[in-house]
Homo-oligomer: A and B are copies of this chain.
């Protein structure tokens, strides 16, 4: 028996070694295929340049759904379908913001209305701007101090956070919910400093949520430079604003998420990868989130091209309406529940097509440790971080169905320079960085498909 106990570990050790070696070879095959023949960059060019920005509810979004359907077919999906989603329709229309201090004449500022807000119905809304340092300070103010004023917040993006996502979260409440706090105090409009890591004058839009108990006041964002200048001016003199905008919610519209898959060879449980097909209504939605969409399609294309044995169903989801409602994500999870579909894992890429560094993961400690045990396979590709505990907005609803979830974690330095702006264009995406992210996603799905 001694001989056998000695041999067994050797046998298992050898098996482990040869498995790890074959995985290492497949990792290289995946990377080589994507870096040399990858279609994601060309696909992104089409989406960004031929269609451009595509807020859900818009005609451009409808065009994008047709495009995604076609691309999934071309990539080799066995099945492609549209999933109905009812989405809010928000339209920007014409908009302008002018300010005036002392004896100066009116001066226009670069601005964007914040998404999902109501405008001024094309009428000039005029009022005095008051600078308030924070929501906490607003809370301490008397209603009479705020009444009929236009409240200006200039909360800066905290540059000391290494993850810019953390800085975005920190400053986010001013865009997400502050308008209703202002309205509660009687303020008639709100101006905020854009949530931006850059120091330029580009306004960054994004979604907000009104508290239904208070008036739906207009809320706009301005660039960082304008914001700092405005704060400075307000230190010494009164400043008045003239705001005019036509934006507002225009009901709902039936549209679609687009889904494609290669059906599992051993079982039909789903391993999903996705991005959101909608974007804000400025720029080209190249980084947010054209990148995530074309990367997900690239994963499927690579599985087919390399004949990677998909034991489980590999499904690509191009979600509708992440930006101003996340209705696509909710609908997808509802349908999965209704059909009793088992999801093993759902991954999103919605942090930009930058050089990948790891994956945010929301899963049991056991599963996470298993993924971490693969880290030596990933390290040669610059992927080393499996410790972050988050997943993409669109895959989060699947957590309730017991699915492990995750998000590709690319380098975060540049994302919030261009997020939700006119600068989010194709030219800001680098080919190798984008393809490397697709490769990392494919490698992770290959491992999960093989070992889960």
Hey, which bits of chain A sit against chain B, CB under 8 A?
Answer: 31-32, 35-36, 159-160, 162, 164, 197-199, 355, 357, 380-382, 384, 411, 413-414, 417, 430-433, 436
Question: Chain B contacts of A357 at CB under 8 A?
Answer: 382
Q: Are A162 and B36 in contact (CB under 8 A)?
A: no
- The smallest beta-carbon distance between A215 and chain B, in angstroms, is 38
- Cα–Cα distance between A430 and B411 once the two chains are bound (Å): 12
- The smallest beta-carbon distance between A354 and chain B, in angstroms, is 8
Question: Chain B contacts of A164 at CB under 8 A?
Answer: 432
- A381, A430, A436: which has the most chain B beta carbons within 10 Å? A430
- Cα–Cα distance between A164 and B380 once the two chains are bound (Å): 13
**A-B contacts besides A413-B436, A414-B430, 10 pairs, CB < 8 Å:** A31-B162, A35-B159, A159-B432, A162-B436, A164-B432, A197-B432, A355-B355, A357-B382, A411-B433, A413-B432
Question: Chain B contacts of A414 at CB under 8 A?
Answer: 430, 432-433
A160's partner among B35, B197, B417 (CB-CB below 8 A) is: B35
- The smallest beta-carbon distance between A250 and chain B, in angstroms, is 38
Question: Chain B contacts of A199 at CB under 8 A?
Answer: 431
- The smallest beta-carbon distance between A442 and chain B, in angstroms, is 15
- Cα–Cα distance between A289 and B386 once the two chains are bound (Å): 33
- Cα–Cα distance between A381 and B198 once the two chains are bound (Å): 19
Question: Chain B contacts of A413 at CB under 8 A?
Answer: 355, 430, 432-433, 436
Q: Across the interface, name the chain B residue whose C-beta is closest to A439.
A: B162
- Cα–Cα distance between A431 and B157 once the two chains are bound (Å): 14
Question: Chain B contacts of A432 at CB under 8 A?
Answer: 159, 164, 197, 413-414
| 5 sample A-B contacts, Cβ–Cβ < 8 Å, listed by A number | A32-B160, A35-B159, A162-B381, A414-B430, A414-B433
Q: Are B159 and A198 in contact (CB under 8 A)?
A: no
Q: Across the interface, name the chain B residue whose C-beta is closest to A432.
A: B413
- The smallest beta-carbon distance between A285 and chain B, in angstroms, is 20
- Cα–Cα distance between A187 and B197 once the two chains are bound (Å): 54
Q: Are A431 and B198 in contact (CB under 8 A)?
A: yes
Question: Chain B contacts of A430 at CB under 8 A?
Answer: 413-414, 417
- Cα–Cα distance between A35 and B162 once the two chains are bound (Å): 9
Q: Are A382 and B162 in contact (CB under 8 A)?
A: yes
Beyond A355-B413, A413-B355, is A36–B160 a contact (Cβ under 8 Å)?
A: yes
Q: Across the interface, name the chain B residue whose C-beta is closest to A32.
A: B160
Question: Chain B contacts of A198 at CB under 8 A?
Answer: 431
Question: Chain B contacts of A436 at CB under 8 A?
Answer: 162, 413
Q: Across the interface, name the chain B residue whose C-beta is closest to A416.
A: B432
- A159, A380, A436: which has the most chain B beta carbons within 10 Å? A159
- The smallest beta-carbon distance between A362 and chain B, in angstroms, is 21
Question: Chain B contacts of A382 at CB under 8 A?
Answer: 162, 357, 411
Question: Chain B contacts of A35 at CB under 8 A?
Answer: 159-160
